[in-house]
Amino acid sequence: MYIQNQDDIGVDMTHLLEKAFSEVAKLPAQEQDIIAEQVLEELASENQWQQQLGGSQDLLKSLADEALSEHKVGKTKDLDLKQ
């Protein structure tokens, strides 16, 4: 099962995550701490991206709709990749 938000904490880990933690547990304490820091940094980074992008869906849809409207009335031009 995948934890999607803080309300799901306490849900069992996936077998793959359990296996990864089991392997990490065999390492010396210093290496465990390094890996733990990396995992926590990655989770914090992912959380930050989710917070930043979570509220932007309406804006992105609006911008996409605007671009499509402009394209339909001929206000856009083809991209020349050779330039």
Q: 17: which 2 tokens?
A: 């995550």
C-alpha of 15 from chain center? 21
More confident call, 55 vs 25: 25
| pLDDT at residue 25 in the model | 96
Residue 9 pLDDT class (50, 70, 90 cuts): low
Checking if the pLDDT of 3 tops 90, the result is: no
| pLDDT at residue 1 in the model | 40
| pLDDT at residue 78 in the model | 85
Q: Note whether 2 and 14 are within 8 A (CB).
A: yes
Checking if the pLDDT of 48 tops 80, the result is: yes
Percentage helix, strand, coil, to 5, in the chain? 65, 0, 35
